[in-house]
Structure 1
Amino acid sequence: MKRWVVALLITASLVDISVTIADESPRSETANSESHANLVHWIRIPAGTYRRGFASNDRNENRFHFDHPYSNRQNFKFEKPAHQVEISHAFEIAETEITVAQFREFVTATGYQTDAERGDGALGFFPDQDDYVDRFQTASEITWRKPGFEQSDRCPVVAVSWNDAQAFCRWLSEQQGVRCRLPTEAEWEYACRGGTQTWYSWGDQPDDAYRFANVADGALETAYPNTTRYARAVNLNADQGDGHVFTAPVKTFEANSWGLYDMHGNVWEWCQDRWAEDTYDRYLRDISRRDRADFVLKDPLFEEKTDLHQYGDWRVLRGGAWTCTPAVTRASNRTFAEKSGASVYTGFRVVREVAPATSRKDAS
């Protein structure tokens, strides 16, 4: 089970979307404080409706694979069936992933210890192993403070669990006097797409990832040969690609159309929802196929426990990471990890609720 989950995460479309957005444009706001955490730049995302997931027909899958000839073959079963989703309230989402500096401020203020620090460490990167999956192993020395590679204060914090992200959100809520939380995966995909109908927020071309995302590329392959053999971009020469071996400082690459950075690549991002591989089927099972085109799912947050949860409390991850081919970072892609687990390719960003606040409680 554990090996399979690791392989899925590190190797983890033409999406037929129609987007209806309220008469409100995304805008940037900054909290009024000199502290790092309160200097989160928030982008206001308007309420609206969009089509979530991967359009389920062979033509779309064949086109995706044709346009990604150097990437490992993708499986879209977790992203189907595509369906209309309404985000009924505007919300604010952090312009970037939470950084090392911002997380350090939280730890300094609270004395918090992460799951990795209190346990057996996080999943780290050990490139000397012959087997690709074995290159990612849990080790006690791997924590957010020492992930095994250099990070600046502006890099996204890694080796943090879902539990750690929740603790940060609770603290930030107290600092700002407004509820801060992880995004639902419906909010995450809506924000990532930024009103687009394409596989990525920038369009359908995987090579354009180098302008918008930190992905597995020539820099990683040159530093550690054979690391990208299952996560391969088109160009693998040292001077091609995004130029970053591991995490990149936030805002290194271009933002999407709504002003959000690193929604694709850099680190996988935790969402509130529990994981189920058939989440979308569960929502639509009582809706006839004839009626699905007109059905709109309002503010979904999946919290059910499935058979898989007897092995742990699995939570959704979105966006891909520095370990991933561009194909894996597509807007509709979904994967998961246990909520106490942490890795050097996983971080998070935060949502701040906009009045009137919803009454929905944190997932537990």
Structure 2
Amino acid sequence: MKYVLFLFLLCFSSLQAQRAFKPIGTNNQPQKGRLALVIGNSAYPGQALPNAANDAQDMAATLRQLGFEVILKLNLNQTELEDVVSAFTQRLKNYEVGLFYFAGHGFEAGDNLNYLMSVEVRSDLNETLAKRKSLCLNDVMSSMKEANSHTNILLVDACRNNPFRGWDRNTASGLGAVNAPSGTIAFFAASPGQTASENAGQRNGLFTQELLKQLRQPNVELISIFKNTARAVKGKNARQTPYQAGFITDDFYFKRTDTPTQISRQEEPAKPVVDLEPIAMISIPGGSFMMGSNNEWEKPIHRVTLSRFMMAKYETTVAEFERFVEATGYQTEAEKGNGSKVYSNGKWETKADAYWRCDTEGKVRPRSEYNHPVIHVSWKDAVAYCEWLSQRTGQQYRLPTEAEWEYAARGGQQSRKTIYAGSNNLNEVGWHTQRRGTYAVGQKRANELGLYDLSGNVWEWCSDWSSEDFYTYSPERDPTGPSRGAYRTVRGGSWFHDAEDNRVSARMGIEPVTSISWLGFRVVLPEKNR
């Protein structure tokens, strides 16, 4: 029997159909697979939700283990929300199971529709403006229905508080009642009139924390997952009772290990699968700028004109690099016996067992730090990641050229001509001169283009060979660096280095086989390839 499954982990009221996203058209037969879109919005101005990104990352990791192919996105604006949902639902028609997960702020508007807020929504906006910068949940529902996948699941952990105190709200805070359509199960973080706990001081919101535990249990049918989750949540917060509406007639399992000969392919446990693209890409219009400075190694200042391209919003994280390694079995230069350089006892030394899963001291990171930029990777390792990502997506991902990197760091055509990427105050935009090591990506302020950590956190590999005098003869149009050399260029400064090294024009050359605890990378994509 065909059925649709919705798990709502939020504080919303009744769901009504509205418009759908761009219609889907394909004649391909459905694949025997599971596809999930997982979104976590934490970086709300003045109303940040630290746990939301953690919720999304942990849900993505769990879903991969349960056989889902996962697209993970963090801190999206309204346009990015709509674009990624449209792309997700277009692909969904080729899968038997679709899952949508959102963690962040949400609200029910006066039109009785429910909205998932982009990170552009501020608490001083009125309802009309907030709706324009949010994603209507009903659009997501309608689009997933149109995809005609066998089973659709929505998990939304939102509305943990109401940041819009200036709005006139005549109803009690929290969930309202839901009339789930036939063949639909809705599961909420709290009952009508209640709010869901943010679970302050913990990594996850209370509902997501308990739901994740249940999803990982083998051979537990969906209704039992609901009951067990509700029991655990209420046991820890008497004011919060998870709420279920609707019914289905078929059993559904997230994970099965018993009687394998009787399990359909959609229910088989599968090897973890990988995201098909980085967390988020920013479109950067082409244009001209003055590259370099009068400092040594950065002169002469010269005009450069670049074509349009896209750049990753964040530095490549440990979690992203892990998916590459799991998919390919790739061994980094450090793992092949070279080790990686770490700062210990006031000096730099090569640590034989330091590799990409390790922190700046060469100790294996806890999974809670997999949202930090990956380090202990060489230029060759970064290129291998780009090649794999290109093969998986059919796009041509690569490392940025030095010119692309500096243009983006300066803010492109929106540049305010700041010393660092987005500010003249390095503390606002970058982690620097620290001895504590790396930090989770995206925690400081973005630059003019919405790019994070271009100053500080980690230096970033560029595609160019490094040359002290290249600026004297560099071509003006789309330069790609010298044709040969002994070193590759790195840009951006790091957690270890001082303010001088974190300037947008600062540059350095490193041997391409080098791995070190302050060096990572991010990817770019020529716009014409999309």
Compute the TM-score of the two structures, normalised by the length of structure 2.
0.46
Give the letter aligned to residue 198 of structure 1. Answer: T
**Counterpart position of 1:298:** 477
Alignment check: 8 A CA contact 1:91 1:351 kept: yes
Give the letter aligned to residue 77 of structure 1. Answer: E
- Measure, in 2, the Cα distance between the counterparts of 1:267 and 1:201: 13
Alignment check: 8 A CA contact 2:466 2:487 kept: yes
- Measure, in 1, the Cα distance between the counterparts of 2:336 and 2:313: 30
Q: CA deviation at 1:201?
A: 2.8
Superposition misfits of 4+ residues, deviation over 3 angstroms: 27-37
- Measure, in 1, the Cα distance between the counterparts of 2:304 and 2:508: 19
Matched, 1:96 2:344: no
Within 5 A, what are the aligned runs for 1:1-364? 30=84, 32=88, 35-36=274-275, 38-54=277-293, 56=294, 76-87=295-306, 89-126=307-344, 128-129=345-346, 135-147=347-359, 148-149=362-363, 150=365, 152-194=369-411, 195-204=415-424, 208-217=425-434, 220=435, 245-283=436-474, 297-305=476-484, 309=485, 313-355=486-528
Q: Judging changes above 3 Å, is the alpha-carbon distance between structure 1 residues 43 and 247 closer, same or farther for their aligned structure 2 residues? A: same
Unaligned runs of 5+ residues in structure 1 are: 1-26, 57-75, 130-134, 221-244, 284-295, 358-364
- Measure, in 2, the Cα distance between the counterparts of 1:203 and 1:43: 19
SS in 2 for 1:180: coil
Alignment check: 8 A CA contact 2:278 2:312 kept: no
SS in 2 for 1:253: coil
- Measure, in 1, the Cα distance between the counterparts of 2:291 and 2:304: 7
SS in 2 for 1:49: strand
Q: CA deviation at 1:209?
A: 1.5
Q: Judging changes above 3 Å, is the alpha-carbon distance between structure 1 residues 161 and 42 closer, same or farther for their aligned structure 2 residues? A: same
Superposed CA offset, 1:240-266 (max 9, x none): xxxxx1100001111101000000000
Size of the aligned set, in residue pairs, is 257
Alignment check: 8 A CA contact 2:332 2:377 kept: yes
- Measure, in 2, the Cα distance between the counterparts of 1:119 and 1:42: 34
Alignment check: 8 A CA contact 2:398 2:525 kept: yes
Superposed CA offset, 1:88-132 (max 9, x none): x21111000000000000000000000111022011121x24xxx
Q: CA deviation at 1:278?
A: 1.3
Give the letter aligned to residue 358 of structure 2. Answer: K
Q: Judging changes above 3 Å, is the alpha-carbon distance between structure 1 residues 53 and 105 closer, same or farther for their aligned structure 2 residues? A: same
- Measure, in 1, the Cα distance between the counterparts of 2:450 and 2:327: 30
Alignment check: 8 A CA contact 1:215 1:265 kept: yes
SS in 2 for 1:92: strand
Q: Judging changes above 3 Å, is the alpha-carbon distance between structure 1 residues 52 and 341 closer, same or farther for their aligned structure 2 residues? A: same
SS in 1 for 2:381: helix
Alignment check: 8 A CA contact 1:37 1:105 kept: no
Alignment check: 8 A CA contact 2:423 2:429 kept: no
Q: Judging changes above 3 Å, is the alpha-carbon distance between structure 1 residues 37 and 319 closer, same or farther for their aligned structure 2 residues? A: farther
More displaced 10-residue stretch of structure 1: 327-336 or 142-151: 142-151
- Measure, in 2, the Cα distance between the counterparts of 1:165 and 1:323: 21
Q: CA deviation at 1:282?
A: 3.1
- Measure, in 2, the Cα distance between the counterparts of 1:196 and 1:178: 32
- Measure, in 2, the Cα distance between the counterparts of 1:153 and 1:276: 34
- Measure, in 2, the Cα distance between the counterparts of 1:52 and 1:120: 35
- Measure, in 1, the Cα distance between the counterparts of 2:358 and 2:439: 16
Unaligned runs of 5+ residues in structure 2 are: 1-78, 92-98, 100-273
Give the letter aligned to residue 277 of structure 2. Answer: N
Alignment check: 8 A CA contact 1:212 1:253 kept: yes
SS in 2 for 1:119: helix
